[in-house]
A and B are shown apart, each in its own frame.
Chain A
Amino acid sequence: MRQSEEDREKLGAPPAHESYLTDGTTVMSWLNTRDHKRVGVMFLVAVVFFLFLGGVFALAIRMKLLYPGPFLFDALTYNRLFTLHGVTMIFLFMIPAIPSAFGNFVLPLMIGARDVAFPRLNLASFYVYLAGAVLAVWAMVHGGADTGWTFYTPYSTTTPTMLFPLLLGVFIIGFSSIMTGINFIVTVHTLRAPGIGWMRVPLFVWGIYATSVIQVLATPVLGLTVLLVALERVLGFGIFDPARGGDPVLFQHFFWFYSHPAVYIMVLPAMGVISECVATFSRKNPFGYKAIAFSSLGIAFVGFFTWGHHLFVAGQSVFDNGVFGVLSMFVGIFTAVKVFNWVGTMYRGAISFKTPFAYICGFLFFLVFGGMTGVALATVALDVHWHDTYFVVAHFHFIMVGAVIMGFLAALHYWFPKMFGRTYHEGWGLVAASLIILGFNATFIPQFLLGNNGMPRRYYQYPEHFQALNVASTAGATLLGFGFIIIFIYLVIALRWGPRCEQNPWRSKGFEWLTPSPPPTHNFDKIPHITQDPHDYRTHAPSGVYTDV
């Protein structure tokens, strides 16, 4: 506390102001806010709720899979549960999780802006998301969609369950995603503080920027695709159903043209979080800043040309299989560059093993193993055996739960003091992190083996020789669930009773720590003039000085 006060005096900054949390405490002051930080916090509450919901569905699925025969509920309920799990986790949790919650909160702080470029659009994005989410969940619970989150035709155009409101919900959520994307792109282009040239933009901002480009370019394709499915169901268009002269495989091309880049919408922000955390907790400048920044853009670009690897056994030509296979590998190269540079950042650093660092270790292992199994899946002949089996399930959970949730939890712990000005219990943080990393491995490593063994995904009943591995996986999922409950408990306690922290408890030189924690409503009384690269730990001098702008 003392030191940061001294810092502030040295810089000639005015004394700490009222924080954004105390600037208006009525419900309306939150619901009607245009403050990016409050919008970020509202997104955080929403996505945590949907993470909980998706997790409950996942546990229900795993409980059923303890036994090979019918158990707990019937096949139709099972099919609805995995649809609920997939749609909730992907559209309601994973896509908005890091960009809309943490991106909203810290991106303007990191580039020294007072808010995002379009604060009203930002708030609108939240309400559009909420409307779409409520509609989608209501539609799934009430109408019982049983298509899986992939909506493959002609199953989705012929199933008697109610699908239209769910498709509409996904369509609406897409707009929220586009609004957030546009907002961030414009913010990064126009609102950077003096001294932040493009090669000084923090790496988290690069990650969010690349994500936003994908969101703006790819999401319209998803919107059109679900609209076409809806039109086919409601008005009988013959786009995808071969019985009406359509082509079911066309749907798969459209769908994956969005949904493969969507994987990078989810993982690039997590990579950005890791870039920040590695530097902070190693007290080292990012090793290969340019390589990390440009590989984010590289992933965003190449990610658009890999969708065909979802169609290796769908009757795509052999030539196309080869091309999509080799293009997919370039994503692996960009990711490998990032991984090596993160490890390089630790070299000759001053590493402190705090909770976020535990998540970094988990992240690195899951990303490398999950990423390399992804490259293995792009090896066409191997995919033939693995396609649509639990191997694929395990692979994308390694990336999405492994990497993305590790990134999400790292962000939550790293920026918790920034957001709420309080600290959580470090011991419990490490206990929960180890429980989650252990539980996660115990859940999904058996699923890799199940896939090798030949168990297809989305199976309500399964041949008996798959049971042992399924039981192991369910045991792991239970551990994982306990980990999340512990985190929830100690964070809620910290929110109310946690000790107040100083402005910069990690002594990080990321630019977002130049304001008080929690920040005042307009972030900076004076806009800082940035004089150093992000995370320059050669000196103790602050990375910016306050100007009179």
Chain B
Amino acid sequence: MNETLRRFLFLPDQASTFASQVDHLHYFVILTTFVMSTAVGLTAILFFILYRRRSETQTTPHIEPAPLLEAAFVIVPLSFFLLWWVIGYRTSIELATPPADAMDVYVQGKKWMWKFAYPGGPNAVNVLRVPSGRPVRLLMTSRDVIHSFYVPEFRVKQDVIPGRYSQIWFNATAPGRYQILCAEYCGAGHSIMRGEVIVLKAEEYEDWVSAQHRGLATKQDGPPTALDFAPPLGNLVDQGRRLAQEQGCVKCHSVDGSQHIGPTWLDLYGRREKLSDGRIITVDEGYITESMMDPFAKIVDGFKPVMPSFANKLAGPEVAAIVEYIKSLQSDAVRTGPSEGPAYAPVRGR
């Protein structure tokens, strides 16, 4: 049944945990739509057959609908619509809430390519390798205009916006190769801004990662870019540490917990901070990025609004590197990397 309907509606293969869930709602909604529009059409035809004009001067009775009938006109479609909405909204909350054990990959869109950076390891252009059966969270930003990350087989899509980090997650179920398409119009190369997700079996993925670490595979995927000829940068945390020195971040932010001009970075990630306007927020990737781009948007209580904006000074991967560096600064040695629950709560109002 699932397979027949999927083919009938031209839906792509179902390659993530969302796909079949979304498709089942799709079948329900589209079949109702078919039935309703056909029913309206058939009723019109039936009335035409039954009530053809018999003479040019024919008169007709004056008919007003009963209030109960008008109420039915509202209640019947409304109950269908609300049912769809409830199911669809629940699924969408799931789509917006990555599980705590998700693996992170940073994504940068630019005209007209996708760049991927793994926190502990390699970079790649246009080819994203992920293990199957494990949730993957993508932290995405754009370097120029708005793009949109879309993998039809996963039924996921999210706009990639300059100056912001947006996130998306999926759990790929079937090893294989799937096309990444850009879904937000971004200029002359919009239609060829394509990439590929390669879903590997878990052990193949581990092999690939360790091969990258051993330096056996230094060549990047995809066509060579200027970055290929730059000296090796080390992993994101190392890059972030060096950038924090170069950009002067550590002049105001300590990394050992001591008080200074700005909040300390030690244990910053995942901390609940009180803002100057009384709100309480949880520090996550979004907040850290926002504070670099627009420092006065959310000032932590007790600090002065003195930080300059880094909006034009840092490129996407550099922001990612600094975020990863901050995330690595945890006093509890066991708590490394992104792991604590509340940090993933969707950030409201951003």
Contacts and interface: CB of A to CB of B under 8 A. Distances in A.
Interface of A: 75-76, 79, 146, 148, 152, 154-155, 158-159, 242-243, 245, 247-249, 282-285, 287-288, 291, 312-315, 317-319, 321-322, 325-326, 329, 332-333, 336-337, 339-341, 343-344, 346-353, 360-361, 364-365, 368-369, 372-373, 375-376, 378-382, 384-385, 387-389, 449-450, 452-454, 456-463, 469, 507, 536-540
A99 B33 CA distance: 30
B278 interface: no
B349 A317 contact: yes
Given A329-B85, A453-B11, A287 B65 contact: yes
A339 B40 contact: yes
13 contacts: A242-B163, A317-B347, A317-B350, A336-B73, A339-B40, A344-B65, A348-B61, A365-B41, A380-B89, A381-B22, A385-B157, A387-B157, A388-B183
Contact of B190 (A248, A368, A458, A539): A458
B59 A538 contact: yes
A369 B32 CA distance: 10
Contacts of A361: 41, 44-45
Contacts of B188: 75-76, 79, 146, 460
Contacts of A344: 63, 65
A379 B164 contact: no
Q: Which of A322, A344, A382, A469 has the most chain B CB atoms closer than 10 A to its own CB?
A: A382
B25 A537 contact: no
Contacts of A329: 78, 81-82, 85
Contacts of A348: 51, 60-61, 63
Q: Chain B's interface: helix, strand, loop or mixed, by majority?
A: mixed
Contacts of A248: 146, 161-163
A537 B60 contact: yes
Contact of B48 (A76, A155, A339, A346): A346
Given A155-B145, A452-B9, A453-B12, A282 B187 contact: no
A384 B82 CA distance: 18
Given A332-B81, A350-B52, A154 B162 contact: yes
A291 B70 contact: yes
Interface in B56-93: 56-65, 70, 73-74, 77-78, 81-82, 84-85, 87-93
A318 B346 contact: yes
A512 to B, nearest CB: 20
B59 A384 contact: no
Contact of B183 (A319, A351, A389): A389
Given A283-B58, A382-B29, A536-B62, A461 B191 contact: yes
A456 B182 contact: yes
Contact of A538 (B44, B45, B61, B78): B61
A143 to B, nearest CB: 16
A152 B185 CA distance: 9
A343 B58 contact: no
Contacts of B350: 315, 317
Interface string B17-51: 00001100110011011001100110111011001
A456 B187 CA distance: 14
A322 B89 contact: yes
A3 B144 CA distance: 71
A426 to B, nearest CB: 14
A349 B51 contact: yes
A347 B64 CA distance: 11
A46 B181 CA distance: 39
